[in-house]
């Protein structure tokens, strides 16, 4: 359950993680696969954030010009596992830009894959028909594999396409990290001096890893990251090293109350029972990782509470939800809506390179 | 199986039926959730019917102006149970108005709900991305619950949304009732003096309850409603009381031939074997509730035969279908097509308030 | 396993194969169901091929005028079995022409069919809402049945619709045959004098039957067709007779190397183990029906290798795939992309009759 390096449970074994290197963005998104937050620098984030803010404003104004941005372009939605928010927000994003969406009518898991087709062939089928493929797949490195084969395909066919990862197993979920960063940026008007507290299974949590990496890339001044987790589910030491090398102060604890009162941002995630070999170990800590209105009472009046959703019992009962949801500090619905704006910005940049 | 009040089998227990009150339409549909036929008055029906007739004419003329009505708007299709006609006609309706449609690529039942997310959270996810949500859910009152939470969400996010019920369990299916009413209106040029006969399981049948309510709301002069059902599956007495209070003559029987020859409208539905505790009770009556060409021979030459579809054996064999389908009095295909026109009218009114 | 006539295993028993006769195209596609390659003559193929080539050029030029071709039209996607390529390419085709696509949100196999509705009723539901229905169904003759009932429906409703078959069981898959023909035409600039070699289960293979028929319809000069299959899976003798009557030279063998070196086109398909009663019979021949880089080494430098995809082990291992995919003679990805162009041409012709 615990090892010296504190790395996530699954070994990173997909050979395409070595064989394929995603391109850096470096200010130009056009035609580039979006696979990992490592492709981004601070300036690239700023470009996206500005575009998302502009798009949000134009939607509120019912600006119909938006629907010309991706007019004539087609997005294929390849979801090998369910993810309502990522799936529906990408679809809405593409359609609000005037683009079209295709998907296997009966769900891709029942399609050719079911007949034994491998990922490389299924992705290339989508690549023949679409301009951009959003890929969600349970296997680590699947987005690297997809990008590798699409690059080869693009040399053969008339109409090239590009991959955007919608999450690959325990690997990364780059657009989730981007929308999380944007929500903090939007709510707090920047990152300098912020205390951001991440809570839950920090060892295996894909979203907290990517978000931590992005804060490092942003190179904020005076930022403090607090990691609250059970002892056996601490943030990987490689991430801690990265963060401290960028001048970010890191504080680790298993006691939320040590840091809750000083946090500007509280990023809540689930601790799954399945991660514990011993049920009594889980039982011993689980109540410390449930956010309820009485816990939130200890937070600052100007703090924000984030969550990637969906949530189960890590926010208590349905009644607890109803109370928390009314708290103006709970911004997870705004966060969810921002997911659409960030994905619109990304699709516009990748497909057209336009300044929206 | 039978009680004094003759109410439907499932008790109406969803607390949101009390907690949420749908707004009356009162001539203005814009931004209003559509949950129950109780929101409508006669004038609201007339507005819809006029719009549906106008839309139907414009489609026949290939009027491309229609595709500007909902341009830039997004509908989320949340179908927690299958309903081909409601699902596909809403999609076609939105698209023919120039709007876009999103849905969980692999079907919402495999999505976050499968991971244990509750309805309130899933609906709010859709609400963040879409302008209108069509919700079909097996649980009574689910559309009330959805509307309740969407109202709360709309106070938080930039882009508000609205719920249209596509049927909630044994509760209501308001757009089915509207398209049924429109079909009678369209075929018979009004309701005054009509004899409408509803046949089947009138105790549990959602469509006949809503249709009966709507005829009462329309307050027609000299209308007669005939209810033909097995003794144990009679129309709820509360509905009977409502109808007679509006001056509608009601006649109940278990013998179709008593009323078939005087009926202007014959609305046929299925009697399900599962509703009977005793198989011999079902066997005793089932043949009285099968519409075949030889039964239809007793109907008036200007009668119309309606059915909400799908049909199983309540219209006999495939050969019986083929003969009935050729009968000009069988208007269930026209009824089905009207479903699209009524839903276009409703989407246009709710999203834009435009007079189409 | 083998009979005198060498006909496919399933007897052709669907009564609608007799009851419905698809219309010949005869230069005019507008409003005609597309059910079988027998509807086509050489001139009809040429019209489609010219349109596909024009469309391909316009897509490469990002010609936005394309999206006006099917503006305001709706395609219903009814896939009763999975077929990623056919499904997604039809969707992309319709959308790139500016048309809209509807489908049962949860997959049609979970929809009304699941509730016991028959095909005739489900197809007519789609027909009420859509202008064109793409039907994929596992049962032989299902597309004939669909066309039969849609013709009856069209006499009743305001907005008529048309069926395009996406494959009906062991029957036909006409658009696959059209895209295969187009790929040969495009790669080889015609058919005269070509040696085309088809490999695999030629007895049950739907795609090779239809492709063989189309080459006969094209009436090329000096064409030679080589059929390579296990003895028990030979091309039906009726097809052989048709071909020779059109002056095409036919050569049958179970030894690929007899013909590989003279082939201009190599059309590869799978031999399924299930087709053999005796596992040792399959084991005895299976290695002769695997295309690998070392087999391809015997082919001509200007040959092309085609495959309808998906592929399993009939092209060896993943490593074999990677090598074959780099071979410029392997055109199955171009073939797959052509599927979209041919389907765009067909939709444009059937819905609007326009010369694209």
Q: Look at A309 and B125 and tell me if their CB atoms are within 8 Å.
A: yes
d(CA C12, CA C7): 10
> Is C182 an interface residue toward A (CB < 8 Å)?
no
**Is residue C144 domain-shared with residue C210, that is, in the same domain?**
no
In sequence order, what are the beta bridge partners of C159? none
> Is B88 an interface residue toward C (CB < 8 Å)?
yes
- Residue A160: phi and psi, rounded to 5, are -70, 160
Per-residue model confidence as pLDDT tens for chain C (356 residues): 233 345 554 555 789 999 999 999 999 999 999 999 999 999 999 999 999 999 999 998 888 889 999 998 999 999 988 889 999 999 999 999 999 999 976 666 554 445 678 999 999 999 999 999 999 999 999 999 999 999 999 998 888 999 999 999 888 999 999 999 999 999 999 999 999 999 999 998 889 999 999 998 888 899 999 999 999 999 999 999 999 999 999 999 999 999 999 999 999 999 988 888 889 999 999 899 999 999 999 999 999 999 999 998 999 999 999 999 999 999 999 999 999 999 999 999 999 876 55
Distance spanning both ends of chain B, measured CA to CA: 47
Residue C8, domain member (yes or no): no
Per-residue confidence band for A63, with pLDDT thresholds at 50, 70 and 90: confident
Token pair 């999206």 is found at C67
Complete edge-to-edge strand list for the sheet that includes strand B195-199: B249-253, B224-228, B195-199, B265-268, B304-306
Among A76, A126, A156, the residue with its CB nearest the CB of C334 is A156
Query: For A142-176, what is each residue's pLDDT tens digit?
Result: 999 999 999 999 998 888 999 999 999 888 999 99
Q: Which two tokens stand for residue C157?
A: 């409703």
pTM of the model: 0.94
Average pLDDT over residues A23-46: 96
Rounded to the nearest angstrom, the minimum Cα separation between A145 and chain C is 13
Residue A200, domain member (yes or no): yes
**Is residue A59 domain-shared with residue A119, that is, in the same domain?**
yes
**Is residue C219 domain-shared with residue C82, that is, in the same domain?**
no
Residue of A nearest to C328 (CA): A156
Are A316 and A292 a contacting pair, CB within 8 Å?
Answer: yes
| Residue C104 Ramachandran class (φ > 0 left, ψ -120 to 50 alpha, else beta) | beta
Among B76, B111, B116, the residue with its CB nearest the CB of A312 is B116
Nearest to C224 by CA among C204, C202, C246: C246
Give the lowest-confidence range in A78-87, A114-123, A282-291, B283-292: A114-123
Residue B5, domain member (yes or no): no
> Is A155 an interface residue toward C (CB < 8 Å)?
no
Chain B touching partners, 3 or more CB pairs below 8 A: A, C
Q: Which two tokens stand for residue A23?
A: 């391109």
Strands A195-199 and A265-268: parallel
Among A104, A121, A130, the residue with its CB nearest the CB of C87 is A104
Q: How far from the centroid of its chain's Cα atoms is residue B147's Cα?
A: 18
* pLDDT score, position C212: 94
The CATH number linked to C222 is 3.40.50.1370
> Is A76 an interface residue toward C (CB < 8 Å)?
yes
As a whole number of Å, the CA-based R_g of chain C is 20
Verify whether residue A136 is a known catalytic residue: yes
What is the sign, positive or negative, of the torsion defined by CA atoms of A249, A250, A256, A257? Answer: negative
Q: Between vectors from CA B133 to CA B132 and to CA B139, what angle results, nearest 5°? A: 155
d(CA A200, CA A256): 10
The single residue of A86, A183, A239, A269 carrying the catalytic annotation is A86
The single residue of A21, A53, A85, A311 carrying the catalytic annotation is A85
Query: For C169-197, what is each residue's pLDDT tens digit?
Result: 888 999 999 999 999 999 999 999 999 99
Rounded to the nearest angstrom, the minimum Cα separation between A157 and chain C is 6
What is the sign, positive or negative, of the torsion defined by CA atoms of C132, C137, C142, C143? Answer: positive
Q: Look at A82 and B157 and tell me if their CB atoms are within 8 Å.
A: no
* pLDDT score, position B8: 52
Residue B13, domain member (yes or no): no
**Is residue C103 domain-shared with residue C71, that is, in the same domain?**
yes
What's the domain range around C233?
176-335
Q: Look at B102 and A96 and tell me if their CB atoms are within 8 Å.
A: no
> Is C344 an interface residue toward A (CB < 8 Å)?
no
Nearest to A55 by CA among A96, A89, A27, A25: A96
Q: Which two tokens stand for residue C250?
A: 């036919």
Verify whether residue A244 is a known catalytic residue: no
- Residue C102: phi and psi, rounded to 5, are -120, 155
Query: For A214-270, what is each residue's pLDDT tens digit?
Result: 998 888 899 999 999 999 999 999 999 999 999 999 999 999 999 999 999 999 999
* pLDDT score, position B277: 87
A-B contacts (CB, under 8 Å)? 111
Residue of B nearest to C124 (CA): B333
**Is residue B225 domain-shared with residue B86, that is, in the same domain?**
no
Verify whether residue B253 is a known catalytic residue: no
> Is A61 an interface residue toward B (CB < 8 Å)?
no
Among B117, B122, B158, the residue with its CB nearest the CB of A56 is B158
Q: Look at A339 and B128 and tell me if their CB atoms are within 8 Å.
A: yes
Nearest to B231 by CA among B262, B255, B261, B213: B255
> Is C325 an interface residue toward A (CB < 8 Å)?
yes
Residue A9, domain member (yes or no): no
d(CA C300, CA B111): 50
- What is the 3-state secondary structure of C138-152? CCCCHHHHHHHHHHH
**Is residue C94 domain-shared with residue C67, that is, in the same domain?**
yes
8-state DSSP, B298: T
Residue B2, domain member (yes or no): no
Rounded to the nearest angstrom, the minimum Cα separation between A123 and chain C is 10
Are A7 and A1 a contacting pair, CB within 8 Å?
Answer: no
Among C110, C125, C156, the residue with its CB nearest the CB of B88 is C125
Rounded to the nearest angstrom, the minimum Cα separation between A105 and chain C is 6
* pLDDT score, position C12: 56
- H/E run at residue A298: none
* pLDDT score, position C159: 85
In sequence order, what are the beta bridge partners of B134? B77, B164
> Is B152 an interface residue toward A (CB < 8 Å)?
yes
Cis amide linkage into residue A310, ω under 30° from 0: yes
Q: Which two tokens stand for residue A289?
A: 């990782």
Residue C5, domain member (yes or no): no
Are B131 and B1 a contacting pair, CB within 8 Å?
Answer: no
d(CA A304, CA B186): 55
Nearest to A91 by CA among B28, B66, B102, C163: B102
Per-residue model confidence as pLDDT tens for chain B (356 residues): 233 345 554 555 789 999 999 999 999 999 999 999 999 999 999 999 999 999 999 998 888 889 999 998 999 999 988 889 999 999 999 999 999 999 976 666 554 445 678 999 999 999 999 999 999 999 999 999 999 999 999 998 888 999 999 999 888 999 999 999 999 999 999 999 999 999 999 998 889 999 999 998 888 899 999 999 999 999 999 999 999 999 999 999 999 999 999 999 999 999 988 888 889 999 999 899 999 999 999 999 999 999 999 998 999 999 999 999 999 999 999 999 999 999 999 999 999 876 55
Nearest to C138 by CA among C206, C83, C80, C177: C80
- Residue A103: phi and psi, rounded to 5, are -160, 155
Say how many C-beta atoms besides its own lie within 10 A of residue B291's C-beta. Answer: 23
Whether the complex's predicted ipTM is more than 0.90 is answered with: yes
For the range A270-278, what are the long-range contacts, defined as Cβ-Cβ under 8 Å and sequence gap of 24 or more? A270/A200, A270/A201, A270/A311, A270/A312, A270/A314, A271/A200, A271/A201, A271/A229, A271/A230, A271/A233, A271/A314, A272/A201, A275/A1, A275/A9, A275/A201, A275/A203, A275/A204, A275/A232, A275/A233, A276/A1, A276/A232, A277/A1
**Is residue B343 domain-shared with residue B219, that is, in the same domain?**
no
Verify whether residue B86 is a known catalytic residue: yes
Nearest to B9 by CA among B276, B240, B278: B276
d(CA B225, CA B195): 6
Query: Hey, of A76, A105, A119, A157, which one would you mutate to test binding to chain C, going by the most C CBs within 10 A of its CB?
Result: A105
Are C273 and C283 a contacting pair, CB within 8 Å?
Answer: no
> Which residues of C are annotated as catalytic?
85-86, 115, 136, 173
| Residue B231 Ramachandran class (φ > 0 left, ψ -120 to 50 alpha, else beta) | alpha
> Is C69 an interface residue toward B (CB < 8 Å)?
no
Q: Look at B71 and A77 and tell me if their CB atoms are within 8 Å.
A: no
**Is residue B35 domain-shared with residue B147, that is, in the same domain?**
yes
- Residue A77: phi and psi, rounded to 5, are -105, 105
Which 3 state secondary structure label does DSSP give B97?
A: coil
> Is B128 an interface residue toward A (CB < 8 Å)?
yes
Q: How far is CA B275 from CA B10, B200, B234, B269, B281, in A?
A: 12, 12, 12, 14, 10
Which 3 state secondary structure label does DSSP give C92?
A: helix
**Is residue B322 domain-shared with residue B343, that is, in the same domain?**
no
Contacts of B339 in chain C (CB under 8 A): 128
Residue B60, domain member (yes or no): yes
- The angle, 0 to 180 degrees and rounded to 10, between the axes of the packed helices A119-129 and C84-96 is 20
Q: How far from the centroid of its chain's Cα atoms is residue B143's Cα?
A: 14
- The angle, 0 to 180 degrees and rounded to 10, between the axes of the packed helices B42-60 and B332-352 is 110
The residue count of chain C comes to 356
Distance spanning both ends of chain C, measured CA to CA: 47
Domain count, chain A: 2
Q: Look at A159 and C95 and tell me if their CB atoms are within 8 Å.
A: no
Contacts of C84 in chain A (CB under 8 A): 104, 108, 111-113, 117, 122, 125
Q: Look at A121 and C311 and tell me if their CB atoms are within 8 Å.
A: yes
Among C64, C88, C325, the residue with its CB nearest the CB of A152 is C325
Q: Which two tokens stand for residue C88?
A: 């997604």
d(CA A113, CA A130): 18
* pLDDT score, position B217: 86
**Is residue C192 domain-shared with residue C259, that is, in the same domain?**
yes
Query: For A304-327, what is each residue's pLDDT tens digit?
Result: 999 999 998 999 999 999 999 999
* pLDDT score, position B112: 46
- Residue B62: phi and psi, rounded to 5, are 50, 40
**Is residue C202 domain-shared with residue C239, that is, in the same domain?**
yes
Residue of B nearest to A91 (CA): B102
d(CA A91, CA A108): 16
**Is residue B110 domain-shared with residue B141, that is, in the same domain?**
yes
Residue of A nearest to B73 (CA): A96
Query: Hey, of C82, C105, C149, C352, which one would you mutate to test binding to chain B, going by the most B CBs within 10 A of its CB?
Result: C105
Among C74, C120, C153, the residue with its CB nearest the CB of B95 is C74
């Amino acid at each position: 359950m615990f090892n010296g390096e504190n790395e996530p449970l699954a070994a990173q074994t997909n050979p395409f993680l070595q064989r394929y290197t995603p391109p850096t963005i470096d200010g130009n998104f056009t035609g580039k696969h979006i696979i990992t937050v490592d492709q981004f620098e601070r300036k690239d984030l700023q470009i996206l954030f500005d575009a998302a803010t502009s798009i949000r404003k134009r939607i509120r104004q019912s600006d119909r010009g938006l629907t010309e941005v991706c007019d004539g372009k087609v997005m294929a939605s390849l979801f090998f596992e369910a993810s309502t928010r990522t799936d529906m927000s990408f679809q809405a994003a593409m359609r609000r830009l005037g683009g079209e969406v295709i998907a296997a009518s009966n769900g891709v898991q029942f399609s050719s894959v079911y007949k034994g087709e491998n990922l490389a062939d299924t992705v290339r089928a989508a690549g023949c028909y679409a301009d951009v493929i959003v890929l969600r797949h349970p296997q680590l490195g699947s987005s690297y594999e997809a990008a590798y084969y699409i690059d080869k395909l693009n040399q053969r066919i008339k109409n090239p396409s590009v991959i955007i990862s919608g999450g690959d197993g325990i690997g990364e979920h780059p657009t989730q990290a981007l929308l999380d960063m944007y929500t903090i940026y939007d709510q707090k008007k920047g990152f300098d001096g912020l205390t951001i507290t991440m809570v839950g299974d920090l060892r295996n949590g894909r979203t907290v890893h990517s978000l931590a990496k992005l804060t490092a890339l942003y190179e904020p001044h005076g930022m403090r990251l607090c990691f609250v987790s059970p002892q056996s589910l601490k943030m990987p030491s490689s991430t801690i090293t990265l963060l401290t090398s960028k001048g970010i102060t890191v504080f680790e604890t298993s006691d939320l109350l040590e840091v809750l009162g000083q946090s500007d941002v509280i990023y809540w995630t689930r601790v799954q029972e399945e991660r514990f070999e011993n049920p009594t170990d889980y039982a011993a800590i689980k109540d410390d990782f449930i956010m309820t209105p009485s816990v939130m009472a200890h937070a600052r009046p100007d703090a924000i509470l984030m969550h990637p959703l969906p949530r189960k019992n890590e926010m208590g009962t349905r009644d607890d939800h109803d109370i928390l949801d009314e708290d103006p500090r709970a911004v997870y619905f705004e966060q969810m809506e921002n997911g659409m704006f960030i994905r619109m910005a990304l699709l516009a940049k990748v497909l057209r390179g336009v300044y929206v």
